[in-house]
């Protein structure tokens, strides 16, 4: 008897601790996906094993659609249009979608499949999320650099390979490799299909489409089916688990120091302090997410886009996959702080000088393209309701008030650096033809792209050192001295 109890208890403990591949009776693997797995469990055990730990491997769209509104993880309403909707979501269910649109579609052991699964494919089950995302700055991130003449010049100038010749730095041509590994690693490359190629692997010679600018997982990737964006930067292949998307490491791949130190400042904030200390005791998988029960400190997703409820199941914040949904002001990536743009396509903005920027170099805001004060209030209130689930009204108002004020101060510091730059151009210490390539100009970039951003994020997220010594007021102050002295030494006049 004792032995039975012992082994039973041991089994239970293991069942609870070992993530296992289990299917309910109602949700079996399709015959097609089974055939994929027959090979891929051996030849790509990492992909197959990862998927085995996913919800996709355990749930069919049909079952997933039966959950209550708050618990639902899919947003499609009419599942009758979904093929294999009573099967779990296996390899074939995703890689076979919309083949006619996919330039990367090819025949692979009798099946027509795509290499890249795109947001337009995910749209089959998750249409609300895909639609929200499509309107965001993220989905347009590639074009927000490439189709913005100012930013495109910045990108090309910083990443092209240079030579030194007779006292001059000679810039090479556009360096797509470097751009793909840096800016577009986050912003997304344009994946092109360049015919076919034969690859040799365990199974023999296999013919596959040849992709250019690949691999890439940038949020604004241009996919072989023409769709924009990627879901995998936040829901990485092939587990697609929500807990990964909710943990700060995911956002931290792109939103990090020195240019966007959100992740780093979070880590040194009290929020990050509690998160790091209690990570293993909190629940990042539950839908909806219960404040105070599942989590005792927020992650990026908590404040910025997750569906939150209190213990009584009352909604504190609605889910959104437009990540500006709770943001009213934009504090990074541009010369001056400004209201969020109306459209995710920021390259459509024109400032008073005709440039595709939300403000002039002098600081005049391009109001027509930016959200108005009503919309700002609305979004601020959404964020406020998240703050209020853990903080008093007085605390919250004090905090939000500081954000507005610090933006004004950092904009003044940037303006001071812009004035030095203008004087430097006038006095010959730099040549304004390309405003991004010379020492004085690079110092000016530091002032807004690194230091002002750091100071603003510090206040917004309450992690002090990035406002002080680490690209904060210290460097910001020092940089003005450096610029002033540079102009003094290098003026032609």
Residue 368 has which token pair?
A: 């027509």
Nearer to a second copy, 5 or 100 (CB): 5
Count Cα neighbours of 53 within 13 Å in the Cβ-side half-sphere. Answer: 17
CA distances from 203 to 51, 106, 209, 210, 238 (A): 21, 17, 17, 19, 22
The overall longest dimension of the chain from CA atoms, in Å, is 97
Residue 83 has which token pair?
A: 């093929």
Closest approach, Cβ 32 to a second copy, in A, equals: 18
Nearer to a second copy, 330 or 470 (CB): 470
Provide the β-strand partners of residue 370. Answer: 341
What is the side-by-side strand order in the sheet with 315-317? 289-290, 308-309, 315-317
Nearer to a second copy, 89 or 370 (CB): 89
Question: Pseudo-torsion of CA 370, 374, 375, 380, nearest 10°?
Answer: 120
Nearer to a second copy, 231 or 406 (CB): 406
Closest approach, Cβ 65 to a second copy, in A, equals: 27
Closest approach, Cβ 80 to a second copy, in A, equals: 33
Closest approach, Cβ 180 to a second copy, in A, equals: 8
Question: Pseudo-torsion of CA 147, 148, 154, 157, nearest 10°?
Answer: 40
Nearer to a second copy, 275 or 369 (CB): 275
Closest approach, Cβ 401 to a second copy, in A, equals: 10
Closest approach, Cβ 354 to a second copy, in A, equals: 26
Closest approach, Cβ 323 to a second copy, in A, equals: 17
Nearer to a second copy, 373 or 392 (CB): 392
Nearer to a second copy, 152 or 175 (CB): 175
Quote the CA–CA distance of 42 and 307 in Å, as a whole number: 38
Cβ atoms 324, 331 nearer than 8 A: no
Q: Is the dihedral of CA 122, 125, 127, 130 positive or negative?
A: negative
CA distances from 419 to 364, 443, 483 (A): 14, 13, 10
The three-state secondary structure class of 41 is helix
Closest approach, Cβ 249 to a second copy, in A, equals: 4
Measured in residues, the chain has a length of 493
Residue 100 has which token pair?
A: 């006619």
Residue 431: CB atoms within 10 Å: 13
Quote the CA–CA distance of 101 and 70 in Å, as a whole number: 33
The helix (H) or strand (E) run that includes residue 405 is: helix 393-426
Q: Alpha helices of 68-219 — where are they, by DSSP H?
A: 91-95, 119-122, 127-134, 141-146, 149-159, 176-181, 183-187
Residue 182: CB atoms within 10 Å: 14
Nearer to a second copy, 144 or 366 (CB): 144
Closest approach, Cβ 163 to a second copy, in A, equals: 5
Nearer to a second copy, 107 or 481 (CB): 481
Nearer to a second copy, 368 or 404 (CB): 404
Cβ atoms 135, 217 nearer than 8 A: no
Residue 270: CB atoms within 10 Å: 12
Nearer to a second copy, 175 or 343 (CB): 175
Closest approach, Cβ 343 to a second copy, in A, equals: 25
Closest approach, Cβ 162 to a second copy, in A, equals: 5
């Amino acid at each position: 008897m004792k032995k039975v109890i012992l082994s039973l208890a041991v089994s239970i403990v293991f069942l609870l601790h070992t993530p296992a591949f289990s299917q309910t009776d109602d949700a079996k693997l399709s015959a097609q996906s089974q055939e994929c797995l027959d090979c891929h469990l051996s030849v790509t055990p990492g992909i197959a094993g990862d998927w085995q730990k996913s919800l996709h491997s355990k749930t069919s769209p049909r079952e997933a659609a039966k959950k209550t509104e708050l618990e639902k993880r899919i947003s499609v309403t009419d599942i009758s249009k979904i093929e294999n909707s009573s099967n779990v979501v296996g390899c074939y269910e995703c890689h076979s979608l919309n083949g006619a649109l996919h330039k990367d579609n090819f025949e692979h052991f009798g099946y027509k499949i795509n290499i890249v699964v795109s947001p337009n494919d995910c749209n089959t089950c998750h249409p609300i999320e895909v639609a929200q995302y499509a309107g965001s700055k993220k989905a347009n991130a590639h074009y927000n650099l490439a189709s913005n003449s100012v930013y495109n010049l910045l990108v090309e100038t910083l990443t092209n390979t240079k030579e030194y010749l007779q006292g001059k730095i000679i810039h090479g041509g556009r360096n797509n490799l470097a751009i793909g590994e840096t800016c577009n690693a986050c912003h997304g490359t344009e994946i092109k299909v360049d015919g076919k190629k034969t690859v040799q692997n365990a199974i023999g010679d296999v013919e596959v489409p040849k992709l250019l600018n690949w691999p890439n997982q940038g949020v604004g990737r241009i996919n072989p089916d023409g769709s924009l964006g990627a879901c995998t930067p936040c829901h990485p292949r092939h587990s697609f688990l929500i807990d990964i998307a909710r943990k700060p490491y995911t956002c931290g791949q792109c939103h990090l120091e020195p240019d966007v130190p959100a992740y780093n400042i979070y880590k040194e904030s009290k929020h990050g302090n509690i998160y790091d200390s209690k990570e293993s005791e909190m629940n990042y998988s539950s839908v909806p997410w219960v404040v105070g029960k599942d989590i005792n400190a927020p992650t990026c997703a908590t404040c910025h886009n997750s569906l939150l409820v209190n213990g009584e199941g009352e909604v504190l914040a609605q889910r959104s996959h437009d990540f500006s949904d709770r943001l009213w002001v934009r504090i990074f990536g541009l010369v001056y702080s400004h209201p969020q743009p109306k459209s995710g396509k920021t390259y459509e903005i024109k400032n008073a000088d005709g440039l595709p920027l939300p403000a002039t170099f002098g600081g005049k805001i391009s109001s027509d393209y930016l959200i108005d004060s009503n919309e700002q209030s609305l979004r601020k209130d959404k964020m406020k309701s998240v703050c209020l689930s853990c903080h008093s009204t007085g605390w919250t108002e004090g905090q939000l008030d500081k954000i507005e004020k610090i933006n004004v101060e950092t904009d003044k510091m940037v303006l001071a650096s812009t004035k030095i730059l203008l004087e430097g151009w006038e006095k010959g210490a730099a040549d304004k033809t390309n405003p991004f390539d010379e020492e004085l100009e690079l110092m000016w970039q530091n002032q807004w792209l690194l230091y002002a951003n750091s100071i603003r994020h510090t206040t917004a997220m309450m992690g002090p050192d990035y406002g002080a010594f680490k690209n904060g007021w210290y460097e910001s102050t020092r940089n003005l001295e450096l610029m002033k002295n540079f102009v003094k030494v290098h003026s032609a006049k």
